[in-house]
A and B are shown apart, each in its own frame.
Chain A
Amino acid sequence: MSHMKYPISWRLLDALEAAAAVLWPARMRRLTAWALLAPALFLVGVLVIGLGYMVEYSLHELDLSTYRLKEAYSLTNYQTILDRPVYARVLGRTLLGAVLVTAISVALAFPYAYAIVRTPSAMVRKALLVALFLPFFIGQVVRAYGWLIVLGREGLVNSALAGMGLPTVDLLFTYPAVIFGLVQYMLPFAILLLVPALAAIPEDMELASESLGARWTSTFRHVVIPMAKPGLIGASVVVFTLTLTDFAMPEILGGGTSDFIASAIYDSFFQISNPGLGAALSMVLVTLGSLIVAGVFLVAGTGTLGVRGAK
């Protein structure tokens, strides 16, 4: 009974090891990676199957007599999207919104990320990080609710205006309110994607530029911004696609006046009960988003979003 003197955890591990050797013999070693990946591949597969249903739905027209999708395949739903000007308007509004929100968010995120990276004070850095992470961990609905109180008829802004003897204004349920809410939602994403790119720039680079007589604006334009390009691309792509597909902010802060494509998809399914049309709109949104991202990657490279593998 000499092996009894070994600790129990050793024997447990030996047993596990033996079991693993039986269940997964060495000749299966080549497949280990796929075994580790299998659960993730399966879970994402659920989404892919669901998407398959969407593609299928989009190819069937709604039969108005039975309110079911017709058996025959057709492209009628896609034709409907092209024919009705309302969808072009919604699409244009969404794209404009995505461009505006991306430009404003990245412009605000850049100095914030720069301050986090370059501040000499650990306290200030911690404060900036906490102010960044706190809203990041609070969902969109709660944050939209906060804006309702700020921008509402009896909200903070209007109370302040009234206090100064100025007339109150309707800020809520307008396009600018939606853009503003979206910028606030996207800012943490943009900052978090920019920070690693800026941290990669040695401060000596900036000092060298300045010691050669460049003003800080020139240093930014010719040194910092070009070197931060991967982060700028990553942040822009993420903010753009998240805005393009957003539902809650346009819905809550726009109040039906500034619907984005996601609202049009929702309405097709649940208001006018036409799943075929909703599915076709979904396909348009997926295709549009993918094409724009692919275009940016082709022109500017994948930035910080590129995936690295084993060497």
Chain B
Amino acid sequence: MRGSLSKRIAIWGLVWVSLITLSLPTLIVIGASFTAGEIIRFPPEGFSLRWYGELWQLDSFKAALARTFYVSAICTAVSLPVGTLAAIATVRYRIRFRNAVQVYLLLPFTIPLVVSGISMMIFFGEIRILGQLWPVGVALCIINLPFMIWSVSASVNAIDPEIENAAMNCGAPPLQTFLTVTLPAVMPGVITGGLLMFILAFNEFLVSLFLTDSRTVTLPVQIYNSIRSVITPDLAAVSVLYIAIALIAVFLLDRLVGLDIFLRSK
């Protein structure tokens, strides 16, 4: 960064405030999870892995973890084709009522999550699928669908339409053009979107709170319920699992498409 000393001090000073704010809870949780004591306190008493061990003994934790993976997998599997096709349609085709369609597809963002969650709880109750696990996955796909459409749209926008025309000129029929030219070109967006959908579903709490009960509770909801009663250090160990998964996601995102993808101006 160019400029005077005062500018550098001002900018980097504020950046450090942000860095500490962003990272402090993560670092503290990691530290607290290795405590040997009975309660969460800082600095922790001694160092041990006992809470990780106790966590692994807990069947309710393992069951909730498995359910969370299941729900996130459904969410990702549904959103990949649905979001990709919708993004290609809205960017590539002339459609009537385009603005209305776009506003409609953004509804999951504009409707508050608490309202979406209770709305779907009521509807799922009416059609008698409330209490099953798969509708939770579908619901998480619905509320995050705009993320998927957004990340694929960015890739579709970046394709030169002449490439598709060239393929057709060389005699490729429509389906072949789609499968061998369009789809590979939008892959970075599809990968980013899929990764985002999985992570968001894995962390989603509020809508899941309304759609699950004690038999179908997912991990974020279980953490929330535990926070509200007694705060034991095993929660810190669960949180470290979340931090590890976020780290893997950041690494994958960087490797597959590069974090810089978010820096490009439209």
Interface residues of A (CB under 8 A from B): 13, 16-17, 20-21, 32-34, 36-37, 39-41, 43-44, 46-51, 53-54, 57, 107-109, 111-112, 114-120, 125-126, 128-135, 137-150, 152, 154-156, 159, 183-184, 187-188, 191-192, 195-197, 199-200, 203, 206-207, 210, 215-216, 241, 244-245, 247-248, 252, 262, 265-266, 269, 275, 278-279, 282, 285-286, 289-290, 293, 304, 307-310
Contacts and interface: CB of A to CB of B under 8 A. Distances in A.
Contact of B239 (A39, A145, A265, A309): A145
A184 B25 contact: yes
A247 B1 contact: no
Given A17-B175, A118-B1, A138 B243 contact: yes
Contacts, number: 314
Nearest to B224: A141
Given A47-B107, A282-B115, A145 B264 contact: no
A135 B26 contact: yes
Given A47-B120, A154-B39, 7 more contacts: A40-B145, A43-B138, A44-B107, A139-B205, A141-B220, A152-B231, A269-B118
Nearest to B262: A192
16 contacts: A17-B174, A20-B175, A32-B93, A39-B82, A47-B108, A47-B120, A51-B115, A54-B122, A112-B14, A115-B15, A130-B250, A134-B23, A135-B246, A142-B243, A184-B22, A310-B93
Given A32-B93, A131-B19, A134-B246, A141 B119 contact: no
Interface string B93-129: 1110011011011011011111110111111001000
Interface of B: 1-4, 6-7, 10-12, 14-15, 17-19, 21-26, 28-29, 32, 39-43, 78, 81-83, 85-86, 88-95, 98-99, 101-102, 104-105, 107-108, 110-116, 118-123, 126, 138-139, 141-143, 145, 149, 157, 173-176, 179, 199, 202-206, 220, 223-224, 227-228, 231, 235-236, 238-239, 242-243, 245-247, 249-250, 253-254, 259-260, 262-266
B264 A146 contact: no
A50 B123 contact: yes
Contact of A47 (B4, B26, B119, B238): B119
A146 B43 CA distance: 14
Nearest to A119: B1
A134 B120 contact: no
A199 B205 contact: no
Contacts of B98: 309
B101 A50 contact: no
A33 to B, nearest CB: 3
A232 B20 CA distance: 23
B28 A54 contact: no
Nearest to A40: B86
B199 A17 contact: no
B21 A50 contact: no
A184 B231 CA distance: 21
Given A36-B85, A108-B21, A187-B22, A53 B119 contact: yes
Most buried by A among B91, B157, B246: B246
A114 B15 CA distance: 9
Contact of A53 (B26, B99, B123, B231): B123
A265 B95 contact: no
A279 B195 CA distance: 34
A282 B118 contact: yes
Contacts of B143: 47
Contact of A115 (B1, B28, B245): B1
Nearest to A54: B119
Given A44-B108, A141-B220, A187-B21, A50 B42 contact: no
Contacts of A307: 99, 102
B118 A262 contact: no
Given A37-B95, A44-B104, A146 B206 contact: no
Given A154-B39, A278-B118, A148 B227 contact: yes
Contacts of B101: 37, 41
Contacts of B18: 108-109, 111-112, 187, 191
B14 to A, nearest CB: 4
B29 A145 contact: yes
Most buried by A among B3, B114, B246: B114
A142 B242 contact: yes
B41 A248 contact: no
B248 to A, nearest CB: 9
